[in-house]
Each structure stands twice: as C-alpha cells, then as structure tokens.
C-alpha cells in the first residue's frame, strides 16, 4: 500500500530500513488519531545541515535531533516536513542505551505527534509526549 509519506536524505548517505513498513506504521498512527494524511516528507540530514535550518528558520543556535514544519492549511490534516539529524539520532541512541533503529523510530513518530498537536515545552507536556511515543512504538509490527 502506498502512502503520501516520502523519505529523502540531504547532504548524507542514508536509507531508511523497511521504509514501506515504517510509512504504513506512521499512517496507521495518524489514522488512529482520526486525522487525515495529506503529505509528509522526512529529510534525513547531518547535524550541520539541521543546525543551519535551526538558525535560519527558528533563530535557535543549537543542535537538535528533529525540526518539524507544519504546512497544513486546515485542522485535522497532516501535511508537513520533518528534518532529522542522523548524527543526533546516533548519539542519542548511545546516550539512552537503545538501538539506533529504536531511537530513529522514536524521533520519526515524535515529529508526527507534534503535527497531531502534542507539545513538549513543559515537564508535563514532555511526559505526555514520552507516553505517546512509547504507545506508538509498541504498535510497530516490524
């Protein structure tokens, strides 16, 4: 089954394992939240590339693992671009004593959760986000 989810690499060599299964999982999560999936683009990149986006678009001079841009014109529709630093994901996997794939999947769904309206600015929001991430990760069938 094809989904309007695309995966690209920018300035690095990276190919997502089981991309069709990952896309189906992401689409299922969106559907479970009763949102419509219009278009979702993931761009895997380096720390340097994402750092420049962070400076240029968000005026943040910090490294980050993910930046999510919501391009939807209406409520209840997912249309966005999610940039993920593979360098950060690798480092975070080590720091959190988890596999690269598990950390990558957590970050992939973290961006979707932002598009679904979940926030993570306060400790309470961050706890709710982590709970949602864990719930989504438990639904993987790959």
Q: What is the pLDDT of residues 24-45, one digit of tens each?
A: 999 999 999 999 999 999 999 9
Q: Under 8 Å CB-to-CB from 74, ≥6 apart: which residues? A: none
Q: What is the mean pLDDT of the chain?
A: 96
DSSP, collapsed to helix, strand or coil, labels residue 70 as strand
37 vs 89: CA distance, rounded Å: 25
Tell me, which fold does domain 5-137 have in CATH? Collagenase (Catalytic Domain) (3.40.390)
Binding-site residue numbers are 110, 114, 120
116 vs 55: CA distance, rounded Å: 24
pTM recorded for the entire structure: 0.95
Distance between terminal CA atoms of the chain? 16
Q: What are 76-120's pLDDT values in tens digits?
A: 999 999 999 999 999 999 999 999 999 999 999 999 999 999 999
Binding-site residue numbers for Zn(2+) are 110, 114, 120
Where do the domains of the chain lie? 5-137
137: left (phi over 0), alpha (psi -120 to 50) or beta: alpha
Confidence of residue 1 (pLDDT cuts 50, 70, 90): very low
């Amino acid at each position: 089954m094809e989904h309007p989810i695309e995966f690209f690499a920018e300035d690095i060599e990276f190919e997502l394992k089981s991309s069709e299964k990952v896309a189906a999982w992401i689409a299922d999560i969106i559907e479970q939240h009763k949102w419509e999936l219009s278009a979702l683009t993931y761009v895997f990149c380096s720390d340097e590339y994402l750092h420049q986006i962070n400076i240029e678009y968000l005026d943040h001079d910090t490294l980050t693992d993910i930046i999510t841009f919501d391009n939807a014109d209406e409520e209840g529709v997912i249309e966005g671009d999610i940039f993920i630093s593979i360098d950060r994901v690798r480092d975070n996997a080590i720091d959190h004593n988890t596999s690269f794939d598990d950390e990558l999947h957590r970050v992939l769904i973290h961006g979707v959760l932002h598009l679904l309206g979940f926030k993570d600015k306060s400790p309470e929001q961050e706890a709710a986000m982590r709970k949602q991430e864990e719930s989504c990760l438990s639904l993987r069938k790959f």
